[in-house]
Chain A
Amino acid sequence: MGFRVIKGGMLTTIQDFGRSGYQSQGFSVGGAMDVRSFKLANLLLDNPENEAALEITLIGPVLEFTADTIIAITGGDFSPKLNDEPCPMYTAVYVKKGDVLAFGSARTGTRCYVAFSGYLAVPVVMGSRCTSLKSGIGGFKGRRLEAGDYVGERIKRRYLPFFLSRKLKAPDYDSDDGVLRVVMGPQDGAFSRQGIETFLNSEYTVTGDFDRMGCRLDGPIIAPKKTSDIISDGIALGAIQVPSAGKPIILLSDRQTTGGYAKIATVISVDIPRLVQKKTDQKIRFKAVTVQEAQALFLQEISELEHMRKEIHTPCREVLDCRLVARRLERLYADAESEQYF
């Protein structure tokens, strides 16, 4: 039960919500970069929302299934192919023993997620199944997946109700306006008024220095009043550090727990998934909102996901309409005769 890795891809890791509670010893939280896509992949399979999934980066892997299971692919479009046929995303897909799932390179976005109905069999380390590349713990042997690895599943689960209803709309990363909402602070006071204006009114470019720790931006220099060195303090997800050179760095999942550069603002939780899907040279801008607005948006997204969960648990037209059911059955039998199924 599970899959064998034929090609590892650029950076394929097992992730979940991350490893909280150990930051005081210096352990990063880690976890999925694009939490929204990660949640949607699990949602499509009725998995627990924190169930471990694969995170695929820029160039995808090739996997061969060693048993039947159900998967869901979300996030950036890596042109996934199942046995050389295009594999649909944002839906539940039944895969069979021996099937080969091959990802190309990211056509849209930079990261995609694969959830499994059988739950990936990797141990829980310090409360999480996520891979911490830096400390070499969690996930699959504390590292990225490589050719030859075998990842098992913990349970057999090959039935999902409302199978045909399990479809969600994929985000259109190309039409994203690139505006990231931020809550100002905690050290916005370290920057001159002009520095703050530059920050909020300029266009910044995503550079190639963009990994699971953070994303370095290029653009107009944000001037500190005197220095941007501070007495090191804790860093939250999405915090925007500005070192003395004046170019902002947005701290992400594998961020260090503490740092010594002033943080001008923090990207709000619901906008981080859009940021982490940006490619090198794409543009972003910042827009200030209040913490209350940010938290309202956070709650709104949770109810939006709840709504999606209801949608995929509603019988779809194809099931309610007799003629469509008849046609589908006919097709299934035709396929069965040609030994495509069963």
Chain B
Amino acid sequence: MKDYKILIEGDSSVLIVFGDTISPEINRRVTAAVQLIKEQRIEGIVDMIPAFASLLINYNPMVISYDSIRRRLERILKMDVRGEEGRKRVFEIPVCYGGRFGPDLDNIAAHAGLTPEEVVDIHSSRDYLIYMLGFLPGFCYLGGLDERIHTPRLSSPRLRIPSGSVGIGGSQTGIYPMDSPGGWQLMGMTPVRTYDPNRAEPILVHAGEYIRFVRIGEEEFEDIRARVEAGTYQVTVREGEA
């Protein structure tokens, strides 16, 4: 059975859509498709952007036409592949919620019909799977946000969101790795840098790993920030079975 759609995105890209929900199963299908397509070495493919439930493929129309790449992809996607579950690595990310760090926390609470306190409890009480990186260097898309605190994006995005901001956009939550425009509702901020071009490994985490948000106060925020700047702060990582 065909469980995907190939959509056109302009004259140099196609979008393969595997589903319209965020689930670990569909995400593993995306990862597997990336692997398969890489193995096939299709000439003309320039780049791939795997996402929650889809895969965007950039190609050069001088090398391969839309009709040809579509045929090639359909042949490849007939093969059945599944990704495997590995060991679970959880990064504990400290977050100072509300106040000047989370201007939209009250919005989120009002939308959910909860107190800000309850929203924070819900947000910081589970491990989130990193489905993909995208949007900005090191920006993690996390799955598994509690339905009670789903909040629509702002109807018009902000022009500048400071780095380290933690927010909610629809059914997703995450951290802004650098200053950027964006449409998410902001609930707090982490002093940890998920992207640092001056670090040996500029990107802290990888797809398939987990993030746990840990509530901290303003004092602790400043303390950790100072240690991050001095290069002496180490993010706590828990390891265990998936």
A-side residues, CB < 8 A to B, are 20-27, 29, 134-137, 142, 183-187, 209, 213, 227, 229, 231-239, 243-245, 247, 256-261, 263, 266-269, 291-292, 294-295, 297-299, 302
Contacts and interface: CB of A to CB of B under 8 A. Distances in A.
B74 to A, nearest CB: 16
B242 to A, nearest CB: 22
Interface string B133-151: 1111111010000000000
A291 B8 CA distance: 8
A294 B10 contact: yes
Contact of A257 (B66, B67, B134): B134
B143 to A, nearest CB: 10
Contact of A231 (B20, B56, B58, B62): B20
A233 B178 contact: no
Contacts of B22: 231
Q: How large is the interface on B (under 10, 10 to 19, 20 to 34, 35 or more residues)?
A: 35 or more
Given A26-B133, A26-B139, A258-B49, A229 B9 contact: no
A238 B10 contact: yes
Contacts of B49: 23-24, 233-235, 257-258
A100 B118 CA distance: 64
Interface of B: 7-13, 15, 17, 20-22, 34, 46-56, 58, 61-62, 65-67, 132-139, 141, 152-153, 155-157, 159, 169-170, 172, 177-178, 180-181, 183, 195, 197, 203
A259 B135 contact: yes
B13 A236 contact: yes
Contacts, number: 177
A266 B8 CA distance: 9
B51 A234 contact: yes
A257 B141 CA distance: 12
Contacts of B8: 183-186, 266, 291
5 contacts: A236-B9, A244-B152, A257-B134, A268-B10, A292-B67
B134 to A, nearest CB: 3
Contact of A23 (B48, B155, B159): B48
A24 B9 contact: no
A145 B44 CA distance: 34
A213 B12 CA distance: 18
Given A134-B137, A142-B197, 14 more contacts: A23-B47, A24-B47, A24-B133, A26-B135, A137-B197, A183-B9, A232-B135, A233-B49, A233-B54, A235-B56, A237-B10, A260-B169, A298-B11, A299-B61
A234 B170 contact: no
A263 B17 CA distance: 14
A259 B181 CA distance: 11
A70 B172 CA distance: 52
A134 B136 contact: yes
A304 to B, nearest CB: 13
B52 A232 contact: yes
B61 A21 contact: no
Nearest to A299: B62
A23 B47 CA distance: 7
A183 B10 contact: yes
